[in-house]
Structure 1
Amino acid sequence: MSAEKKKYNLVTVILRIIPIQFKSAPWNCLIENTLGIMNGLSFTLAVVATQRLFDVISKAAAGKAGFLDCVIPLLLLAAVTFGQQIINGVQNFHGIGILLPKSSGRLTALIHKKLRRIDPVYFEDTDFLDDLNKAREGIRAITMFCMIVFVCVSFYGVYFLSIGVYLFRLKPMLIITLLLAFIPALSAQAVNVRVFTRLEEQSAPLRREYEYYQKAICDREYFKETRILGAFSFFYHLFEDTMKLLTEKVWKAERKTALLQLLLDFTAFVGMALSAYMLFRATMSGEITVGMFAAVFAALGQIFAIMQEIVTQHIGNMNRDMGKVVNFIRLLDMPERTGTEGETDFARGVAAKDISFTYPGRDKPAIKNVSLEIAEGETIAIVGENGAGKSTLVRLLTGIYRPSEGKVFIGGLDTAVASPASVYKGVSGVFQKYQRYKMTLKENVAISDVSAEAGAEKIHSVLSEADFEMGDIKLDDMLSPEFGGIDLSGGQWQRIAIARGLYRVNGFIVLDEPTSAIDPIEETKIYKQFEQLAKGKCAVVVTHRLGSAKLAHRIVVMDGGEIVDIGTHEELMSHPGKYATMWEKQAQWYERAEDCVPAQLPV
């Protein structure tokens, strides 16, 4: 998305987003434009009604018309003015109160569906995360952008077309004067487009930073550590510095556009003065009536005010939002991860053949020339030091990432050509960074099968297999203090994460260091249970505790993104190597820990 960005001009953007807007809320868009047309016509009708009223009053003053002749034009002007206010109020309420929230919600759903189809590897790319932040900013902006387009076409377009015909019939030169006042203003806004598009490009990374610092200051996930360690001031200063830098960029852009606004105001003043002079000359020469002069003179102020409103407010807002809307479109235009449908057959196992993988924006591969086969009914353990490539290999073996080189086959399906849904079907896992969903216990466990009614018996079964003690907790209890529920310990949450992985129907299951908050004795107990549950399936265990790895049929030792050894515990210990060295180090840790346990005091 960020490597080679396509350019979008205003016309291209409008042509892209209008169909999207209509699709998100078709009837509301139709209502909004209908109200705009009625509103535009009402403004012109008000000018015509004003002219007729003043003409009749002039005749009445000259004794050529009576009181009753003035009543009808007066009532007509009152009716048009009243109707104008009603239509304007309804349009404002409908646009801001109904169309905007309804469309924003559906556009949010659209962007989420798009993210579901994007290759997950993009989420490792910093540039993509910046672009995603900008695209999310565009969710509300795109609706406001479309509403401005609707207003400019249905309301202002109809108004200027009808009032233009009226003015042209009075004096053609008035139209030219209005255009001369309007064109320089549009030119100034063309400069604003570049200013605010550049501002949005520069602001997104800073916005992501200050949002993170703000979260570190006050989010529930962070506040205990930041308070106890006295880190509040550290994060606050980072937040403050980032906000100052962002504000400075905004100020420079605003200052530049303010100078252009002065030029716009001066141009509008000259145009209006010239129009008023021409109108006065036409009246004095008898080309137009006094009523026409009064109506058009009153309308001139309104016309120039509307022109300034279009250029400075609406077109100005479009310029400000242009960058956000463009990033929304860029996200929609991103290539999607697709593939052919197929069925996994885990009797064929899981295989990686000469695979390599490099994360976006990095030169060094995280996985290099790895080949591995997992047979049905086999459990392998993957061990290695931090940064060895264990988790990356798991993401490749489960099809989350596609290898840069080589092939991965899951149940006979090639992850490079098979659809994600086909690849993921029958695959389950519990990962080190598991999620604590702010939902009920039942939903936390059965989240992989929300389409079917989650059976309480099966949920209780997998919770028991994960060694989760229910106690007084019920399946319908909310696991979130923020939503009036309860909170759990880290160990309890990990057991729920394990139960969640076990609940999903699978032929291939992965445990990627999910037991870091559980003591070694409990961890061994869970892995022994997992050994029973994994029978007849392809299974992978990633662990930093080598004692648990002994439960696997084979142990894969990784270092620097490569498999440096593979075999059973006994085979790996029978010769010098990475595994034997790691085993000796961990054995020393346990021995030292035992030395530190104080002897029992005599009674």
Structure 2
Amino acid sequence: MMQRFFDGVTAFAHGTSNYDKIMRLIIQIGLIFLIIPIIELFEYLSQGYFYRRGNGYMTSQFHLKVGEKSLIEFDKSETYDLMEKAKIGTQNLPTASRTTIQCLLYFFPFFILISLYLFSVAPLLVAILILLYTTTLLTEKYKSSMYYNFENTTISLKRRVDGFLNSIVSKEFFKETRTSAALSYLYSLYKKHLNEYGSEKMNVEKKILKREGIMRLINAAGYVGIIALMLFYLINGSISVGIFATVYYSIDKINRCLKNMFQQIGETMKNIATTNFLFDYLSDDKEQKSLLSSLKSTDIHLENVSFGYTNSEKNVLENINLTIHQGETLAIVGENGAGKSTLIKLITGLYQPKTGAVLYGEHPTSDFSTDASQKPISGIFQDFIKYKMTLKENIKVSDMASDQPLEEVIEVANVNMDKFSEGLETLLSREFGGIDISGGEWQRVAIARGLYRPCDLIILDEPTAAIDPLEETRIFRLFEKATVGKTTILVTHRLGSVKIADKIVVLDNGRIAEYGTHEQLLKQKGIYYTMYSEQSKWYAR
């Protein structure tokens, strides 16, 4: 159309074309310029939609795969490196898919059609263009390879940078960071690691810029050659003024479009390279395991169980033999570092023993799926989560579809409903316009949450650490009623609470040092007796 337009204008200027013909050409060109913005708007909206849907889907797949991982994997730094690289893939895969489609349906047809047009004008022009853009393509391939290697080798460093930044600015760290005057030191660590990361990236950018600078000089020389060649053809009469004007006018647009094409191809190569991280992560086959639906008539047996986080480290637990009868309340006590929390994770199947077996009846925990929704197990932990949701959602989060009333668990946990201005619909997050509550009140909400979940086995891991001893006694009395018929495992440092337990296990340096009832252990005058006597002095008048 541009060629026809320029030829028509030239003919009109020489008096060999009429006014009506030139106006038709102007209207045709005008319509094209009106259509282009509409197409570009549609393209812009489509790209955003494509990215949001694609990123949302891949992110959900990533999270599902994370949910399949065993808890022990999260004690390894390699796990977090793999997850961080896979997250890069979730962001880059939609872009890689979109640009691949864009190349196939837009850039490649454009390049082919432009090449055919230029070939009809002067075949040598096509040869020069192919040479120019082959070098550009090689440059983009080099860039994608460099960026892939950079992401692969610096991911751990990037996580440290993010970790130090989080310790400076996040709400969870804010109070202690300020009151302990740790800000300046944390900021120095952040700067140090950020500079190290920036230096690594700068080295990559310098290598890329050197390669790219050479290629741009070649491209500039090529375009000068194209203009010189067109002038030569025009002077010797091989092409018309209209053709020369068309190519000259369009060369910048062609240059920008083809440059954009190869940049997109380069981005696609880079993104496809990084999506390999995601595919590697997602392709880790999920092992098909049985579902554990009930523990109502099942005892739990630990047979010669030993556990360590790595083969090189000393075992945290050593040769544990224990039977927990169905419906029994077992208390686990011991000094810090004795292995109490690790034992809980083994009993619930979150960890698998290095040697020995944890059996539900006759079946080892390794036979069962790690999917928490398929396990009749609930837990109330000291390090509970404060969900930024309503009170109702905080309690019902494990089963929002359940019609079970909340009144009973709220009563057991002694949640003070007078503090919630909108009742169960009160939002527990000041930063989103709701309210904040004390640590003790949050712990009551967490207790209600754990009791609300239908279960046959309930874990109480320091569930009342933020509650005063008198209130703790009242709650544990209500616990006894609420957990009748359920197997209950209680982990606590406050030995006054363990009187409700049928049996008590005393851990010492990863081994069972004592086992029996409260009265039996006091008579033995061993570790439990010493711990209980020392704590009794706290309350002596």
What TM-score, normalized to structure 2?
A: 0.91
Q: Which runs of 5+ in 2 are unaligned?
A: none
Alpha-carbon shift at residue 184 of structure 1 (Å) = 1.7
Are the equivalent residues in 1 in contact too, given 2:390–2:428 (CA < 8 A)? Answer: yes
Q: In the aligned structure 2, how far is the partner of 1:343 from the partner of 1:588?
A: 42
Q: Report deviation, 1:394.
A: 1.0
Q: Report the CA distance shift for 1:105/1:322 in structure 2 as closer, same or farther (over 3 A).
A: same
**Structure 1 SS opposite 2:290:** coil
| In structure 2, distance between residues paired with 1:107 and 1:428 | 30
How far did 1:464 drift?
A: 1.2
Partner residue in 2 for 1:240? 191
Deviation at 1:349, TM superposition (A): 1.9
Pairs aligned (count): 539
Q: 1:106 aligns with which of 15, 35, 57?
A: 57
8 Å Cα contact 1:466-1:526 kept in structure 2:
yes
CA 1:342 to 1:302, structure 2 compared with 1: closer, same or farther past 3 Å? same
Q: Write the deviation string for residues 388-437 of structure 1: whole angstroms up to 9, x where unpaired.
A: 22111211211223334333333665322222348843211111211111
Alignment-mate amino acid for residue 527 of structure 2: T
**Residues 355, 369 of structure 1: 8 Å contact kept:** yes
Any idea what SS the aligned residue of 1:416 has?
Answer: helix
Q: For residues 76-225 of structure 1, what are the structure 2 equivalents within 5 Å?
A: 76-96=28-48, 98-225=49-176
Q: Superposition pairs for residues 430-579 of structure 1, below 5 Å?
A: 430-453=380-403, 455=404, 458-473=405-420, 474-575=423-524
Question: Partners of 2:310 and 2:162 in 1: how far apart?
Answer: 23
- Could you tell me which of 310, 313, 325 is aligned with 1:375? 325
Which residue of 2 is the match for residue 19 of structure 1?
none
Q: 1:411, 1:52 → 2: CA distance?
A: 86
One-letter amino acid of the structure 2 residue matched with residue 465 of structure 1: V
Matching residue's letter, 2:256: A
| Cα offsets for 1:76-121 (capped at 9, x unmatched) | 222222212321232123323x333343333333322222223333
| Contact 1:117-1:338 at 8 Å conserved across structures | no
Q: Give the secondary structure class of the aligned counterpart of 2:81.
A: helix
2:335 counterpart letter in structure 1: E
Q: Is the 8 A contact 2:291 2:374 kept in 1?
A: no
Q: Give me the whole-angstrom Cα distance separating, in 2, the residues matched to 1:407 and 1:552.
A: 24
**3-state DSSP of counterpart to 1:347:** coil
2:282 aligns with 332
TM superposition shift of 1:462:
0.8
- Distance in structure 2 (CA, Å) of the matches to 1:407 and 1:346: 20
Q: CA contact under 8 A between 2:292 and 2:376: conserved in structure 1?
A: no
CA distance in 2, matches of 1:323, 1:451: 42
- Is the CA contact (8 Å cut-off) linking 1:353 and 1:372 kept in structure 2? yes
**1:355 is paired with a residue of what secondary structure?**
strand
Letter in 1 for 2:433: G
| 1-structure distance, mates of 2:165, 2:175 | 14
Instruction: Decide whether aligned partners of structure 1 residues 405 and 581 sit closer, same or farther in structure 2, where only a CA change above 3 A counts.
Output: closer
Secondary structure at 2:110 match in 1: helix
Q: Classify the secondary structure of the residue corresponding to 1:556.
A: strand
**Separation in structure 2 between the aligned mates of residue 250 and residue 207 of structure 1, nearest angstrom:** 11
Distance in 1, Cα, partners of 2:315 & 2:116: 68
Does the 8 Å CA contact 1:125/1:360 hold for their aligned counterparts? no
Unaligned runs of 5+ in 1: 1-48, 598-603
Residue of structure 2 equivalent to 1:428: 378
Counterpart CA distance in 1 for 2:253 and 2:310 is: 55
The residue number in structure 1 matching 2:306 is: 356
Deviation at 1:159, TM superposition (A): 0.6
Instruction: Tell whether the 8 Å contact from 2:167 to 2:177 is kept in structure 1 after alignment.
Output: yes
Query: Residue type of the partner of 1:414?
Result: P
Moved more, 166-175 or 391-400: 166-175
2:349 maps to: 399
Q: Is the 8 A contact 2:458 2:489 kept in 1?
A: yes
User: 1:551-600 CA distances to partner (integer Å, 9 max, x unpaired)?
Assistant: 22221222333333322233334446xxx235414523542x467x7xxx
What per-residue deviation string (whole Å, max 9, x for no partner) do you get for residues 116-141 of structure 1?
22333322221211222333344333
Note if contact 2:338-2:508 (Cα within 8 Å) is conserved in structure 1.
Answer: yes
Provide the C-alpha distance between the structure 1 equivalents of 2:285 and 2:198, rounded to a whole number of angstroms: 34
- Note closer, same or farther for the CA distance 1:221–1:69 as it changes in structure 2 (3 Å cut): same
- The one-letter code matched in structure 1 to 2:277 is N
In structure 2, distance between residues paired with 1:524 and 1:587: 18
Q: 1:306 aligns with which of 257, 262, 273?
A: 257
2:227 aligned with 1:276: yes
Computed over aligned residues only, the root mean square deviation of the Cα atoms, in angstroms, reads: 2.6
SS at match of 1:407: strand
Is residue 196–residue 319 contact of structure 1 (8 Å, CA) maintained in 2?
Answer: no
User: TM-score, normalization: structure 1?
Assistant: 0.82
1:89/1:470 Cα in 2 relative to 1: closer, same or farther (>3 Å)? closer
- Deviation digits for residues 161-216 of structure 1 (CA, Å, limit 9, x no counterpart): 21122222223322221111111222222222232122223443233223332332
Output the CA distance in 2 between the equivalents of 1:345 and 1:228.
47
| 258-267 vs 57-66, which moves further | 57-66
1: CA distance, partners of 2:358 / 2:54: 41
Alpha-carbon distance in 2 for matches of 1:122, 1:314: 37
Three-state SS of the structure 1 residue aligned to 2:366 is coil
Whole-Å separation in 2 of the counterparts to 1:374 and 1:87: 69
| One-letter code aligned to 2:318 | K
Q: How far off its partner does 1:63 sit?
A: 4.0
Preserved contact between residue 291 and residue 375 of structure 2 (Cα < 8 Å) = no
Q: Is the 8 A contact 1:347 1:375 kept in 2?
A: no
**Is the Cα–Cα contact under 8 Å of residues 379 and 534 in structure 1 kept in the other structure?**
no
Counterpart Cα distance in 1 of 2:146 and 2:310: 30
